[in-house]
Chains A and B, each alone.
Chain A
Amino acid sequence: MSTSIQEAGKLSAKDFASEQDIRWCPGCGDYSILKQVQTVMPELGLPKEDIVFISGIGCSSRFPYYMDTFGMHSIHGRATAIASGLKATRPDLSVWIITGDGDSMSIGGNHFIHLLRRNFDVNVLLFNNEIYGLTKGQYSPTSELGKVTKSTPYGSLDHPFNPMALAMGADGTFVARSMDRDPVHLRTILKRAHAHKGTSLVEIYQNCNVFNDGAFEVFTEKSSKANETLFIENGQPLIFGAEKDKGILLDGFTPRVVSLSDVSANDLWIHNEQDRLKANILVRFFDDPRIEGHFPRPFGLFYVEDRFTYNEAFVAQIEQAQLKGEPDLNKLLSGGSVWVVE
């Protein structure tokens, strides 16, 4: 039935590109994400037919059409729920959910948090462009407060979601952030997401060059990236800056930006991706970069936890019940007590 793993190993990125013409706007950040996913796929060693991409509605949700795997472009916000049912009954499949900030944080917010707490063994790629693109430019649940859009000519009144903090709050077991403009970093995170057993959430900052161009410019442009971002790695001190001269020190529960000329790297906050408490502090590095004294925005794997997956437990419970022996339908049909009419 399946292509062997050996054959799968021979696949290239091209094998994962479907025949469909790609219809994203020229210059859209989605192109880069698609390319990184197609590049990573052959390295996972999975036969194509065992991979399923499921999306909701939005620009990013067209993604499955462009992957030559199994795919479903479903309805708004529900990819997470559909993937849950699929994974419960088909744990053999590698399931990838493609969603956007409107799809997962707004209309699908409920399913999003429940997927995380249940910890189905699936991967979620959250394309966050902080805008509604497909409906042509309304603010989204991740847009900054006061954002002026078609639906908010006087500025939005909504306090934005911090998706990483939300994921921590929902007891996610793999909470990571990357960006469309850093292909190497994105590919590394994608591979780790695949390797993690449980729900792997990867928030990807993605530029919508038509309706929200430059939303993440400060993090992605060469001129500012080094000073405004913090790339976190397990076991490494939190260091950033063009000259690698700044670090984060944890003073009790209070993080502080320090200069490496004052503090030794050994005394800095050492990232431990299994430390839930510290991850909860780190995801809160979410300041508006225009504010004086703000923290750099972290990228990488904030938190990972080894917790049983829903699909494993789901299958185990059934298998446990089946140990009692072959089920007898005739017995079920007759129930507990019968009587004979002659």
Chain B
Amino acid sequence: MEKDSLVVPDATILFAGDSGDGMQLTGSQFTTTTALFGNDVSTFPNFPAEIRAPQGTLAGVSGFQIRFSSEQIYTSGDHCDMLVVMNAAALKANLKQLKAGGTIIANTEGFDAKNLRLAKYPDGVNPLEDGSLEGYRLLTIDVTRLTKATLEGSGLGTKEIDRTKNMFVLGFIYWIYNRPLDNTIKFIEQKFAKRPEIVEANLKALKAGYHYGDTTETMIPRVQVEKAKIEPGIYRNINGNPATAIGLVAAAKKSGLKLFLGSYPITPASDILHELSKYKNFGVGTFQAEDEIAAICSAIGASFGGALAVTTSSGPGIALKTEAIGLALMLELPLVIINVQRGGPSTGLPTKTEQSDLLQAVYGRNGEAPVPVISANTPSDCFYAVYEACKIAVEHSTPVFFLSDGYIANGAEPWRFPKEADLKPIAPVFAEKPAEGEKFLPYKRDEKLARKWAIPGTAGIEHRIGGIEKEHETGNISYDPENHEFMVKLRAEKVARIADYIPLQEIDNGPAKGKLLVLGWGSTYGSIKTAVKSALAQGYSVAHAQVRYLNPFPKNLGELLHNYDYVLVPEMNNGQLVRMIRDQYLVPAEGFNKIKGVPFTADELFTKIKSLA
């Protein structure tokens, strides 16, 4: 650590630029380096739906927020301490995110007349020069000129030199925060292994940025965020989508089943397909189908054959899969349906987060069609939640929904990952040839009301299944009215009975009885946790519970809710869990909703809690 560094417990940086400026890469490099250093880390990438929106415009701004701390943290930060902007549009779009007195690092070339015009600043106004940023600490750097000078004589063209600008900036930020370069050096060497001249250029720009801090008399103080005091153990950095992919591979390995993914590309779920397609050495089969319907149907076919079958999508894709989900539950075959939620309805906000599809998952099918639903709270929690979804699917012979969302799918955090041996067993039960003289009953049930997995290739159990109502146990087509009512109730009971096999609802933080319970689900976990922690510290009578199992609910949830005078349900939607809670438990629950494509800030939740507790 440098002698003159300022030690702070916690820092948040927002990298922002044009979607072609490489801000996501810059942010994720800073994240890995910082996680490896030993800070607790939480990130929030925020980018436009267009791959290359018109350059320099507000629509094209791509941002990556990273918060890192010497303490345990649960959110990527309400506001940032430092805003790094590559152009005028990035400043305009993100200035409101910067704390009063915060630092702005601006690339001057991005504030030329053209960029100012594109960012819709009035004629002749340049925020870097007009004093409007007086409340902040502003540092301007001509990154373009400096990288050009650094790479003079490299033989590279202007375009290629321009592409190293982000490495210069990253190098400079590393200098400010006292971070080593080796992780990024290794990354660059691997990424461009086939083009040594590009490796050299990027490394030069990175180091030039770092030395720029050393050699210029910058007025920005260097900052040190010490290693976090978190639970001891071995950690890695993880994003939600890769955690989901790894969770699926782990479930396949532990259950002894082949993993099959039928998928169709859709934002923000595609990364699970990308990730899984790398793991063929684990026997994983990935099938990029012609559409969402074929994706889930191929998975149903694989499940019929005895594979651990999965389909991944987001809201609009799930809508297309709806009929096939009904088929899977009618067939009573294991299937995991992953919805990485995004802003809806219709195409909605493809790259923005929203807890948009809880009601779709729980209720959105024709007929009486109950499907278990499980959600994840954080990026690393995606691993455990999807693993649990696989376990329920296989052991209860049913399709299961796993709900993630854009925030945790793309966000990252350190993860004290488990060992293979720590994972719960998953035990598929396959049907065998019945004893001599006995008839095979494909829909005979165990105490869970699950049926055995009767896969082709097993002699003596040849049978037919289908979407038409079936007779109890035999599975033969039946239009009998009594049988239909019986079967509808049986299938409902089968899903309800899963409550006997899942953990009871726990209070995450706060008293077991009190004035206010803040009840959340999914990715709001971190914001609620932070806000409730603050409220408790100030003496408010408030507790926090995060519901992971959304259908069926844990058996004690109703009882637990009645221990509080009032229930607040914050959701990034127009009120979905709150309806289910009121419907099932008749408690005075109030929704607190944010539908802006971005997560709750801990601050806005804290304010709301104070008004009720």
Contact = CB atoms under 8 A, between A and B. Distances in A.
A binds B: yes
Interface of A: 1-3, 18, 20, 47-52, 54, 64-65, 67-75, 78, 80-90, 92-93, 110-111, 114, 314, 317-318, 320-322, 324-325, 327, 329-330, 332-342
Interface string B394-437: 00000000000000000000001111100000000000000000
Contact of B419 (A65, A68, A333): A333
Contacts of B327: 74-75
Contacts of B477: 20, 65
B345 interface: no
B297 to A, nearest CB: 4
Nearest to B298: A85
B324 A78 contact: yes
Contacts of B249: 329, 332
Contact of A90 (B250, B281, B306, B459): B306
Contacts of A336: 236
B18 to A, nearest CB: 29
Interface residues of B, number: 74
A85 B304 CA distance: 9
Contacts of A69: 462
Interface in B450-470: 456-468
A111 B232 CA distance: 52
Contacts of B32: 337
Contacts of B37: 339
Interface of B: 32, 35-38, 183, 227-228, 230-238, 246, 249-250, 253, 258, 260, 262, 279-285, 287, 289-291, 293-294, 297-307, 309, 323-324, 326-327, 331, 416-420, 456-468, 476-477
B298 A2 contact: no
A72 B468 CA distance: 11
A339 B414 CA distance: 10
A75 B365 CA distance: 14
A322 B596 CA distance: 45
Contact of A82 (B230, B260, B285, B297): B297
Contact of A338 (B230, B236, B304, B461): B236
A52 B305 CA distance: 10
Contacts of A332: 246, 249-250, 279, 282
Contact of A73 (B36, B281, B283, B466): B466
Closest CB pairs A-B (n = 4): A73-B466, A85-B298, A85-B301, A81-B297
Nearest to A78: B297
Given A18-B464, A86-B301, A47 B459 contact: yes
A85 B324 contact: no
A65 B466 contact: yes
B305 A93 contact: yes
A23 B282 CA distance: 46
Nearest to A3: B459
Nearest to B464: A71
Nearest to B229: A341
A114 B294 contact: yes
B462 A322 contact: no
Contacts of A338: 234-236
A93 B456 contact: yes
B294 A333 contact: no
A307 to B, nearest CB: 18
Given A72-B466, A341-B230, A334 B417 contact: yes
B298 A84 contact: yes
26 contacts: A1-B457, A18-B464, A49-B460, A50-B457, A65-B464, A67-B464, A70-B462, A71-B466, A74-B297, A82-B297, A85-B287, A85-B298, A88-B298, A90-B305, A111-B293, A314-B287, A325-B281, A330-B420, A333-B420, A335-B237, A337-B183, A339-B38, A340-B234, A340-B235, A341-B227, A341-B228
A72 B465 contact: yes
Contacts of B459: 1-3, 47-49
B289 A88 contact: no
Contacts of A327: 253, 279, 281-283
A1 B302 CA distance: 20
A20 B471 CA distance: 13
Nearest to B309: A85
B297 A85 contact: yes
A170 B38 CA distance: 55
A314 B249 CA distance: 18
B32 to A, nearest CB: 7
B556 to A, nearest CB: 32
A52 B302 contact: no
Contacts of B291: 110-111
A327 B324 CA distance: 33
B179 to A, nearest CB: 13
B305 A75 contact: no
A85 B126 CA distance: 58
Contacts of B298: 81-82, 84-85, 88
